[in-house]
Every structure is written in C-alpha cells, then in structure tokens.
A and B are shown apart, each in its own frame.
Chain A
C-alpha cells in the first residue's frame, strides 16, 4: 500500500481510492475491449498485491506440511499458518484463539455446526429458526439435520423493504427453539440485520445463535463478544483474501462439547484400532492437510482491511451506494429490490419487461461485471415474485466514475431490449 493510503487511513480521512486501486492488479485488465468495472464483490472480492504475493512467497519459500515436521520449513509454515488464526481472532474479537476453527469458508462452517452440534442436540419437535433472506448455505444444512432429527425449521418473514419482520420473529421464538441462524448482511438485498437484538431474544429463550458473516466481515465491525453470538462464520475470499479459506468462530465451551466433524489427520490425539482420542481445540475440527497457502495469504488480507480501517471503508461504500441508488432511480422502469433502512453496499434491482440475464450479457459486453439471477437465495426471490435481480455490489476500490459507466450501460441495454 502506498504511503498516501496509509496516512489517509490513519487520519481517518477520505481514502485515496486511486492509490488503493493500484494495489489491486486485476483492476488494470480489460474485458471485451473495455477497462474492467468489477461490481460482483458480493460473490467474491478482488485481491490486493500483498495477498497474491503471499501465495507466491509461500510456495517459493515455505511450502511444507504444518504441525507435523521437525524441520525448519515445517516450523516456519506452521508459524505463518497459525499467525492467521491470531489475526482472525483479533479481527472478530474472539476471546480465545482456539475458538477459531479453519474451514473452507462460510458454507463449510455452517455445515460443521449443523452436522456436529445439530445432530447431537436437536431432538424431535425441536425448532430451528432461520430467515427468509438466507443464502442456500444457511438453509440447506439446517433442512438436512432438521429432517434427520425430526426437528422443525421456521422462517422469519421479510417485509416489502427487505427487512426481517421482528414482531414475527418474536412470535416464532419459544422454549422449543434450539438454534437461531441468520445472515448478518443479505447478499441479495444488502440488508444489514439487527443481529445483536436477534441474538438477545434467542438467548432469552435459551436458544443458541449462528451468524452468517459472509457478507458482513469486509464491511462492518465484527465483535463476537459484544454480539454474544454462539457461532459466527466467514469466508476469506469475500474479504480480499483467497478462496478455499474461512473460519468458524464458536464459544469455547460449546466447541468443546461438540462431537468431531471429519475424522483423520490433525484432529486426533491417539489412534488405536479400539479407540481414538481427539485433539484439543481448534485442531479437533481440522482433519487432514489444510489449505495452508491460502490461510497464510489470508492474513495480509486482514492486515490490509485493518490498515484501511472499516469505518473508512464503510464511508466510501456508503457514498457509492447512495450515488448509485440516486442515479438508478432516474432510469425509468427500474425497481430496486431491498430498500432496508440499514444497507450494505449492494444494489439489487429489476427492470420492467427486461430479463436480468439480458442486461447482464449486455453489461458484460461493456466490460462491466454484475451478477444476475437468484443469488443463491431462491426463497427470497419467490418472496418478491421475481426470477432474479441484477446485482451490483461495491467494494472499497470502486469509484463513482465506474457507477456512471454502469448507468450508461444500463440505459443503452434498456434501449436495445425494451
């Protein structure tokens, strides 16, 4: 990162976006003969040079298996690999490093909880509450265990603005509720859910809580102790880091009481053919050789976010969202899907008489990357009676000039298609 960027971050001033863009090599590429405009950040973010360099460095200097070897490479690789755990702990303010379980990402984290905690603790008639705006990753695992355990899945409804109806949530909660699993920020609508309040009410009924932080980790301050959530899941690739790496946070006493997930490798203490004893946290849940390089490269991503400062990132993203929202409302026939009072940098919309896919193809033809479709939230699309939306999701390296190009592209697409 350049010095100017650093100073800007420290001073809590406006970020130097031009300097930040220099840190992301991919932003220099052309697509279909145009400079790339990348507005698919909710699907995966781009990676700064430090992250890419860390991957190369790892394979050129460190490559060894972790936790096992006695040689120098193994030790250095292990140190780098474990340093990321400390960085994640600090990033979400977990109380203990062993509360951070490495996963492939959000999806695996949720599955881990569903398969271990869920299978052990859910009994016939118990209830799990999710919300109407969940990603499939926070629906399907719960459906699977609920079916297995004869438990019941309940859904918090969503209002027309794309907010959770909390009165209805309160009605769903009862002594039967054992788990409330909700998304922090909706990938399809951008809604920021009042998770602290949701967690408090769940705890009042004695239920546990899981927060899907896939979309919030890059944009919002996360403090799992303040939230008091029991589980929190995130993915590195949505936070400027590599794919295939993520974390499950769980309260220590819960993780300790949970049965193991996958067997083999790192998760054992002692194996005989009669009996296996398991390793302690967090290794108990980390079977097999992990995705070492990507976890090593996850740390520079966290460091990068920390250097910019979440408040600064958020301020810039809010500007982008406001600018885009303001401008898109000028285009006839556009309807924004998701107008929650609290929103992260996602602009999801439909256009009268125009299929989202057609718009996506024409924007791509201009080098503008957006997402179209149901965004892995099919029940939510059904709620709004639409096949899908066009979604532009912004990150700290995006600019208002890029939004101008989006608006221009949209106007041209509509003219052709309508």
Chain B
C-alpha cells in the first residue's frame, strides 16, 4: 500500500465525503461501516506493548517501515474507534516520516469529530495520532542512524 498523493489531499477528500452527510446518524453509520471493514490485526500483535494508552476501549497499533515509508495497522475492540482508526490509517499510511510528522490532521476537527466526541474519547483519538507520529519519529531517527 504505497500512497503517493499528499496527506493534505487525502484529508481534503475525507472532509468532502463527510460534507455529503446530512446528519450525525449518517456519519456514525459510515464510521461504523469503516470499522467493520477494517482489516483485523494479526493476533500476535495484540499484546500489551502495542496498546495505545488514553482510550476507554483497547487499541493496538503497529507500524512498519519500508522504502522510506511508514505503514500502519491497528485494531480496537470498539467498532466506532475502529472506524476512526481506519481513517487515520488512510491518511497517514504510506507516507514518509517527515510527511507524517508535518501532518496537522485538521480533518478530524473539520469533520466535526472532536467536537462531537466527549472529551475523553477525543483524547483517545489524539493519543492515537500521537502514537502514530511517535512511530514516524522513531523511524526517522532510524534512517539517520544507517
């Protein structure tokens, strides 16, 4: 899965998709649908070390680094969270660490997600983005080492 379009373009695309929905019912239906379609994470990755802290539900996140690009895989036991993860992966996966670190991820605000989710849950979302950026940072320093 190598994404060549800039992150901002993918963000824009999601914002446009969400603009088509009339109601939050529809948005949630869509997010739940994304969640159901998210590729399940291999059981070996579902260990404590891969858990993202700061979520009420459990989230496991792993990242891979090949040919200068980071790919992410993640899963949660809650389906709405899975849907959100699936969007984060769609935006960030397949990009270079620098692109990922530069991404402002403003699409989350623009689709209204942060204002709609209760504080604790949007903290969870933020924790997820933070963890994804941590991976990018780690891979970036790796690049300089070799």
Give the chain B neighbours of A364 by CB distance below 8 A: 118
User: Given known contacts A373-B56, A387-B58, A416-B32, is B24 in contact with A357 (CB within 8 Å)?
Assistant: no
Question: Interface residues of B: mostly helix, strand, loop or mixed?
Answer: helix
Residues in A with CB closer than 8 Å to B48 are none
B residues near A358, Cβ cutoff 8 Å: 32, 78-81
Let me know if A107 is at the binding interface, CB within 8 A: no
Contact A361 B80 (CB under 8 A): yes
B140 at the interface (CB under 8 A from A): no
Residues of A with C-beta under 8 A to B77: 355, 387
B126 on the interface (CB 8 Å rule)? no
Contacts of B57 in A (CB 8 A): 355, 357, 387
A387 and B56 alpha carbons, distance in the complex (Å): 9
Contact B79 A417 (CB under 8 A): yes
Digitize A224-256: 1 where CB-to-B-CB distance is under 8 Å, 0 elsewhere. 000000000000000000000000000000000
Q: Does B29 contact A (CB under 8 A)?
A: yes
CB contacts under 8 Å to A, within B35-83, are 56-58, 77-81
Asked if B25 CB lies within 8 Å of chain A CBs, one says: yes
State the interface size on chain B (CB cutoff 8 A): 17
CA distance A67 to B114 in the complex (A): 46
**Judging by beta carbons under 8 Å apart, are A357 and B32 in contact?**
no
B121 and A361 within 8 A (CB): yes
A window 343-401: CB within 8 A of B: 355, 357-358, 361-362, 364-365, 372-373, 387-388
- Check B80 against A357 for contact (C-beta < 8 Å): yes
For B81, give the chain A residue with the smallest CB separation.
Answer: A357
Contact residue among B25, B29, B58, B117 (Cβ-Cβ distance under 8 Å from A361): B117
- Establish whether residues B29 and A416, one from each chain, have CB atoms under 8 Å apart when the complex forms: yes
Bound-state Cα–Cα, A365 to B24, Å: 7
A416 to B85, CA, bound (A): 18
On chain B, the residues within 8 Å of A357 by CB distance are 56-57, 78, 80-81, 121
Q: Does A32 contact B (CB under 8 A)?
A: yes
Q: Compute how far the CA of A139 lies from the CA of B121 in the bound complex, rounded to whole angstroms.
A: 26
Which of chain B's residues 20-34 have a Cβ closer than 8 Å to chain A?
Answer: 24-25, 28-29, 32
Is A355 a contact of B79 with CB atoms below 8 Å? yes
Residues of B within 8 A of A417 (CB): 32, 79
Q: How far is the CA of A358 from the CA of B32 in the complex (A)?
A: 9
- From known contacts A357-B121, A387-B77, A417-B79, infer whether A365 and B28 are also in contact, taking CB-CB under 8 Å: yes
- 8 Å CB interface, A48-74 against B: none
User: Which residues of chain A are within 8 angstroms of B79 by Cβ–Cβ distance?
Assistant: 355, 358, 417
Q: How far is the CA of A355 from the CA of B81 in the complex (A)?
A: 10
Residue of B at shortest CB range from A354? B79
Give the 10 A-B residue pairs with the shortest CB-CB distance, closest first.
Answer: A355-B78, A357-B78, A357-B57, A358-B80, A358-B78, A357-B56, A358-B79, A361-B80, A355-B77, A365-B24
Given contacts A357-B78, A361-B121, 4 further A-B contacts (CB under 8 A): A32-B116, A358-B32, A361-B80, A388-B56
Could you list 28 examples of A-B contacts with CB < 8 Å?
A32-B24, A32-B116, A355-B57, A355-B77, A355-B78, A357-B56, A357-B57, A357-B80, A357-B81, A358-B32, A358-B79, A358-B80, A361-B28, A361-B80, A361-B118, A361-B121, A364-B118, A365-B28, A365-B116, A372-B56, A373-B56, A387-B57, A387-B58, A387-B77, A388-B56, A416-B28, A417-B32, A417-B79
